[in-house]
Amino acid sequence: MIFSVRCSYSLVLLAFIAFIGVNSCNQNSELEREIKRLNFNINVERFDKLFMESKENTFSSLKNGFPFLFPKNISDSILLQRKDDSIQKLIKYSVDSVFLDFSSIENDLSSLFKHIKYYNPSLKKPRIITVFSDLDYRNKIIVTDTIVLIGIDNYLGTEHSFYQNFYSYIRKNLKKDQIVVDLANEYAAKMIDEPVRNTFLDKLIYQGKKMYLKDLWLPETNDYTKMGYSIDELNWANENEYYIWEYFVENEILYSTDPKLYDRFIAQGPFSRFNLSLDNESPSSLGIYIGWKIIKSFMDNNDISLINMLRSDSKFIFKNAKFKPNK
């Protein structure tokens, strides 16, 4: 009889869990349909193509359309010579071969901006313009209030010959599926105030907030792409989450203001630096990963709006996150 009752209870519990799961999926689906209906489609202006295909008699018209991209102290003749430069032609050939059809990128960008608009109704539609950056991977995307510049020559694929002299940890994200992720990261940074204090915990929480916004804005993008990781790197982080956190706590670095911690655990690099023999097995930026986990735990365990979470300081978030790393 007891066994029968337990079986009945288990079945009811499983049914309840299934109901919650289905209900959550339905709510998410309805939310996505609502966001998709927003009138916020993006049209990308391919300045890179317009410039490289321009003629002397159409050059003034191009300058009128993009005056902010033409330095006043450089003559038209020099700019026209640059257009005919062999290196610029080689970049054009490579870009054209990779981005033969730009419609899928435009669709991804439209989806991103609809999601940002949904969570930030004051957002104004910017002009989105592709340019050649001469492989300036440190400034792949530049965002202002009205204009977004995408250095399209930084997204040709990890194995492209242009990038062979770059470190592998830089090359791995020079691919077209990172355009929307990089742009989301730039907009997230614009929405979140830099931490007032300068502790390692402040930096973790700041980075975690950016990752949480990317979760909301890029619901169809997998976690490893949002982190700029490979699948194996994300698996390593997931499998060692408890030990990463244990290291941070036991070494009392959460409230440290040592600037070297940023380079060791947040900046891009070949790996994170625990100063242990296993360092070269780890991915870089594990501080971002932990900050992301803390924010997700905070949002799961507190009834708080997105805007209030973004405005909350790191001490409040950490205190109320009830973060317990997976072991």
DSSP string, 253-303: -TT---THHHHHHTS-SSS---SSTTGGGS-S-HHHHHHHHHHHHHHHHS-
Same domain, 162 and 63: yes
Same domain, 236 and 167: no
Residues of the domain holding 227:
200-321
Lowest mean pLDDT among 8-17, 88-97, 260-269: 8-17
Lowest mean pLDDT among 15-29, 179-193, 301-315: 15-29
Same domain, 136 and 79: yes
What does the pLDDT look like over 230-266, one tens digit per residue?
999 999 999 999 999 999 999 999 999 999 999 999 9
Position 54 pLDDT exceeds 80:
yes
7: confidence class by pLDDT, cuts 50, 70, 90: very low
Same domain, 230 and 165: no
Same domain, 100 and 227: no
Last residue of a domain, one of 121, 154, 183: 183
Residues 321 and 314: their CA atoms lie apart, in Å, by 10
Number of domains in the chain: 2
Q: Which of the 8 DSSP states describes residue 37?
A: T
Same domain, 60 and 117: yes
Whether residue 19 lies inside any domain: the answer is no
Per-residue tokens: 193: 């105030």
Same domain, 54 and 142: yes
What does the pLDDT look like over 257-291, one tens digit per residue?
999 999 999 999 999 999 999 899 999 999 999 99
Beta bridge pairs of residue 148: 128, 143
Same domain, 228 and 261: yes
Same domain, 278 and 246: yes
Nearest CA-CA partner of 49 in 87, 105, 89, 109: 89
Position 176 pLDDT exceeds 60:
yes
Per-residue tokens: 37: 């209906």
What does the pLDDT look like over 188-201, one tens digit per residue?
999 998 887 899 99
Same domain, 163 and 219: no
Average pLDDT over every residue of 25-35: 82
10: confidence class by pLDDT, cuts 50, 70, 90: low
% of the chain residues with pLDDT over 70: 92
Lowest mean pLDDT among 13-27, 110-124, 276-290: 13-27
Same domain, 54 and 140: yes
Last residue of a domain, one of 149, 183, 217: 183
Question: Are 127 and 147 a contacting pair, CB within 8 Å?
Answer: yes
Average pLDDT over every residue of 282-305: 98
Same domain, 105 and 229: no
